[in-house]
Structure 1
Amino acid sequence: MFFSEYFQVDSDLIKTYGAVDISLVCDIPLFIDPMLIFNSNKPEYQSLHQEIIRYFHFLYMKSKAGLSTKEIDAWFNFSEVPNNWLGYSMVGNKGLALGHKFAKFLYDNIEFALSTNGISRSQHIEKAMLLYEGSGKDKISDLTVNLIKRFLCEYTEEFAKEYISPDLCCIIPVDKSYFNYETESFVSKEYTLPFVYNEKGQVEYVLLTPFDILREDEPSINRDDFYKSHERIRASIENDSLRAYVNNYIMQAVRRYEENQKKNRQAIRERSIQKIEKEAFQEIVKEYPELYDYYIKLQEENTDEIKIQCMQELNNQLERLLMAPKNLISLFISNEYTFDKNLPAREEAKRRLAFFKHIIEDCDGYKNLYVKGEQIAKENDLQRLFRFVWYGTNFKVDAEVNNGRGQADFIVSMGQHNQNIIEFKLASNSRLSHVFTQVEIYEAANCANGSLIAIFYFTESEYRIAQQVVINAGYESMINESIFLIDCRNDNKASASIA
């Protein structure tokens, strides 16, 4: 289920090598941050940054002449590289490619991405994402993976030749390994890499990624942080005239708000002032795009803080998504879960869910739902952990399946007429009571023969809320039959000696 297990190497050896022991069941939501490549003291990383920028310069020169749709797709559009097992996929490693829409976005904004206005130390490809609405961490990470694919292949090949059995590796041609500037085309190259068989029975190579270029949150240069940092940006402006103009523009917006509040005899609220300042900054940056470069300069100078933040994110995510699953699997095996291949999907799903509840509540599994004392607050994290509870199953377990009426958390099946839905909810979810209508819709859309609901609570008050929701819906008799209330509290489980 993990790289170390499948390829028979010690996980500590992978860590010592500098890589992440990835899951081979589902993606790990970690992403490459190009700023970590730029800010590194490692010569190989500095060379990678130069190569990335070189390719963007090539794109810029091509874009100046104007490109056809086919040419944009050839140079600006990149396929997903699922082989590093990083991303959002809950089952397997296949996500979405960057696509033509993103390629067109890059094409339209390539000049903006490379312009520094003589302010920042270097150019950064992720600058383009400051114009991209919504989260772009997966997109900038996928783009970076495509541009450093040769490095990742060589990095993995070196480890494989040294530590992995030749029987678990093979010589594999890697598509678009690097870019040839003479032929102006991507070149494929063969590498000796570890491999797995994908769902189609085809050989698929696996790539390791160094942990020191990964993070869980948005990249260091991102749109949301840019707007939140407007005070720091304004203070860093070296041009006195520009700084005065920007500050005055924002002050005028605040003054109008204050005067209007006084006129209407209403209170002046600090939160409203902060919102007005942010909105005024959003307007003024359209007139003075060099403000983007002052932000990038701040991030370039923020090296130590960025590294510390990224390492904290990485450690927390690995604890949550690697150590916790390994611990749960160990508990799962040691508690001797019995396999019965003849059970229908509903009964097998029910038994796995009941066993998951038992592991969490009675076998200290709840400890794996906390990182440094803080609870795992996302349903997505619990879903990923449950994915590992299907260790050794013959059933097909699909996550976040959408058959037209929304995404069911899990569909457990063995053929079209033997399937069951499992839906996860946190008791703290404000729409908890909607879950019963939700699963009915999923059952109809997927032709499933029933559903199970798991509600996770982390406090006594959350338990009371969950219990009342079930009672109000008229399903109290279904508790521990098709509705499982799972106690994840860490303040009510005394040791056996004390109890």
Structure 2
Amino acid sequence: MFFTEKFQVSSEILKSYGAVDISLICDVPLFVDPMLIFNSNNERYTELHNNIINYFYFLYTKAAQGLTPKEIDAWFNFSEVPNNWLGYSLYGNKGLALGKKYANFLYDNIAFAIDTHSISKSTHIEKVMLLYEGSGKDKISDLTVNLIKGFLCEYTETFALKYIKKEFLETFPVEKAYFNYDTESFVSKEFILPYIYNEDNKKEYVILTPYDILREDEPAINKKDFLNSYDRIRTVIENDSLRAYVNNYIGLAVRRYEENQRKNKRPIKERSIEKIEKQAFQEVVKEYPELYDYYIKLRETDTDEIRLQCQNELDSQLKKLFVASKSLIALFESKNYPQNEMLTAREEAKQRLKFFKHIIEDCDGYKNLYVKGVQIAQENDLQRLFRFVWYGTTYKVDAESNNGRGQTDFIISKGQANQNIIEFKLASNSKLAHVFTQVKIYEAANCADGSLIVIFFFSEEEQAYSEQVIKDAGYEDMIDEAIFLIDCRNDNKISASKA
């Protein structure tokens, strides 16, 4: 289930080496942040950062000459590196590659990415994400992993040769391990690496990632933080004329709002002023892109804050995935789950769900959903934990399968004619009532015989709300048959000794 278990090495040894103990059944939702490489005192990381920037300068030089689609594909397009088991996948480790759309975006904006306007200390490849629409953490992480793949293979090989038995190792040719500037092409190199057998029953190498370059949230340089930092950015602008212009532009927008409110005898709201200031800042940055570099300069000085934030994110994420899942598996094994391979996919799914509910509600499983009394479990975390409930099964468990009408959370099957859909929802979800329509669409798209709906609640209010939603939909009689309410509250459970 985990790297240390599969390759029979101590968790403490792996931890002391500095690597994360990855899952080998689903991705760990962690991502590489290039700022952590830049901010490190590790000389090897300094070299890595320089190599990354050198490659971006190479791309800029080539893009300035004008490239053919084939050349853009060769230098700007990167395939996924699933071997590190990092990302969003709830089933296996195969996600989406960066793709041609991202390659063309990078090609169009490479000049923006490397131009620091002599303001920030260094070029940062994640700067390009400040122009990108949509989530950037997976994209910038995948790009970074591609550019440091040779290092990650070296890092894993060193550990493997010292701590992993030879029977678990094999020599693999790793494509695009390094870039050769003489031939202007990526080159392969052989590494001795641990391996697993993938779904196609072929050997697939596994690579480790250092703990200190990972985080769960967006990278330190990201679009949302940039917009939220507009006030800080204004204070560090060194160019007096630019600072005056930006402040005047924003101030004028605020004055117009205040005058309009007074004219219409409406109250002036601080929240509205903040929104107007942010919108005005978004407009002025289009005219003066060097404002992006003042933001990056700020982030370069936020070293301690970034490290602490990443540490907290990692601690929370690893507790959610590793501590909770290992606890869940231990309970699963100790309770001797009765497996019956003759059940239909629907009946087996119901049995596993009931067992999952039993573990959370009656076996203190709910404790793994909190850290210091604060709820840490989101919908995708609960989905990951549910994957571990299928420990030892021969049923096929597909997570986030999409057959044309959207992604279902799970499809449990034994052949095309024997499959069932499971949909997870938090009671806090504002669109909870839509789940009943949602599953009908999924059933039609997947030719599935009915669905199972699981609703998790973390408070008395959420419990009452979810029960009301079910009642309003007319499905009360389906509770514990097709609809499962799972009590994750930590304020209504007492120990057996006090009961």
TM-score, scaled to structure 1:
0.99
Give the corresponding residue for 2:225. 225
Q: How far apart in 1 are the matches of 2:379 and 2:40?
A: 35
Q: How far apart in 2 are the matches of 1:247 and 1:261?
A: 21
Give the corresponding residue for 1:351. 351
Determine helix, strand or coil for the equivalent of 1:400: strand
Give the corresponding residue for 2:262. 262
Q: What does 1:16-27 correspond to in 2, within 5 Å?
A: 16-27=16-27
Conserved 8 A contact 2:285-2:291: yes
Determine helix, strand or coil for the equivalent of 2:58: helix
Q: CA deviation at 1:47?
A: 0.3
Output one character per residue of 1:335-364: Cα deviation in whole Å (capped at 9) or x when no partner. 111111111111110100000000000000
Q: How far apart in 2 are the matches of 1:469 and 1:227?
A: 37
Determine helix, strand or coil for the equivalent of 1:9: coil
Q: How far apart in 2 are the matches of 1:465 and 1:220?
A: 37
Q: How far apart in 2 are the matches of 1:74 and 1:50?
A: 21
Give the corresponding residue for 2:248. 248
Q: How far apart in 2 are the matches of 1:236 and 1:406?
A: 45
Q: CA deviation at 1:323?
A: 1.2
Give the corresponding residue for 2:421. 421
Give the corresponding residue for 2:319. 319
* Pair 1:201 & 2:207 matched: no
Q: How far apart in 1 are the matches of 2:272 and 2:461?
A: 33
Determine helix, strand or coil for the equivalent of 2:423: strand
Q: How far apart in 1 are the matches of 2:476 and 2:292?
A: 56
Q: CA deviation at 1:377?
A: 4.7
Q: CA deviation at 1:329?
A: 0.7
Q: What does 1:113-128 correspond to in 2, within 5 Å?
A: 113-128=113-128
Give the corresponding residue for 1:62. 62
* Pair 1:279 & 2:279 matched: yes
* Pair 1:361 & 2:361 matched: yes
Q: How far apart in 1 are the matches of 2:471 and 2:289?
A: 57
Q: How far apart in 1 are the matches of 2:475 and 2:250?
A: 55
* Pair 1:88 & 2:85 matched: no
Code of the residue aligned with 1:63 in structure 2: it is A
Give the corresponding residue for 1:76. 76
Give the corresponding residue for 2:372. 372
Segment drifting more, 463-472 vs 325-334: 463-472
Code of the residue aligned with 2:264 in structure 1: it is N
Unaligned runs of 5+ in 1: none
* Pair 1:450 & 2:461 matched: no
Segment drifting more, 455-464 vs 164-173: 455-464
Code of the residue aligned with 1:447 in structure 2: it is C
Segment drifting more, 35-44 vs 282-291: 282-291
Q: How far apart in 2 are the matches of 1:369 and 1:12?
A: 24
Determine helix, strand or coil for the equivalent of 2:480: coil
Determine helix, strand or coil for the equivalent of 1:27: coil
Segment drifting more, 39-48 vs 283-292: 283-292
Give the corresponding residue for 2:140. 140
Output one character per residue of 1:178-222: Cα deviation in whole Å (capped at 9) or x when no partner. 001111100011100000111111111101000100001110111
Q: How far apart in 1 are the matches of 2:28 and 2:228?
A: 28
Q: How far apart in 2 are the matches of 1:271 and 1:457?
A: 31
Conserved 8 A contact 2:406-2:442: yes
Q: How far apart in 2 are the matches of 1:437 and 1:130?
A: 37
Q: How far apart in 2 are the matches of 1:103 and 1:467?
A: 47
Q: CA deviation at 1:376?
A: 3.1
Code of the residue aligned with 2:168 in structure 1: it is L
> How many residues of Structure 1 are paired with residues of Structure 2 in the alignment?
499
Q: What does 1:6-21 correspond to in 2, within 5 Å?
A: 6-21=6-21
Q: CA deviation at 1:472?
A: 2.3
Unaligned runs of 5+ in 2: none
Code of the residue aligned with 1:326 in structure 2: it is K
Code of the residue aligned with 1:149 in structure 2: it is K
Q: CA deviation at 1:371?
A: 2.2
Give the corresponding residue for 1:104. 104
Give the corresponding residue for 2:393. 393
Determine helix, strand or coil for the equivalent of 1:150: helix
Q: How far apart in 2 are the matches of 1:414 and 1:37?
A: 45
Q: What does 1:162-241 correspond to in 2, within 5 Å?
A: 162-241=162-241
Q: How far apart in 2 are the matches of 1:358 and 1:256?
A: 59
* Identical amino acids, percent of aligned pairs: 72
* Root-mean-square deviation (Å): 0.9
Segment drifting more, 235-244 vs 370-379: 370-379
* Pair 1:47 & 2:15 matched: no
Give the corresponding residue for 2:441. 441
Conserved 8 A contact 2:370-2:377: no
TM-score, scaled to structure 2:
0.99
Determine helix, strand or coil for the equivalent of 1:190: strand
Q: How far apart in 2 are the matches of 1:459 and 1:5?
A: 36
Code of the residue aligned with 1:47 in structure 2: it is E
Output one character per residue of 1:242-281: Cα deviation in whole Å (capped at 9) or x when no partner. 1111101110110111111111111111111111100111
Give the corresponding residue for 1:302. 302
Q: How far apart in 1 are the matches of 2:143 and 2:469?
A: 45
Determine helix, strand or coil for the equivalent of 2:201: coil
Segment drifting more, 471-480 vs 359-368: 471-480
Code of the residue aligned with 1:368 in structure 2: it is N
Q: How far apart in 2 are the matches of 1:384 and 1:95?
A: 15
Code of the residue aligned with 2:491 in structure 1: it is D
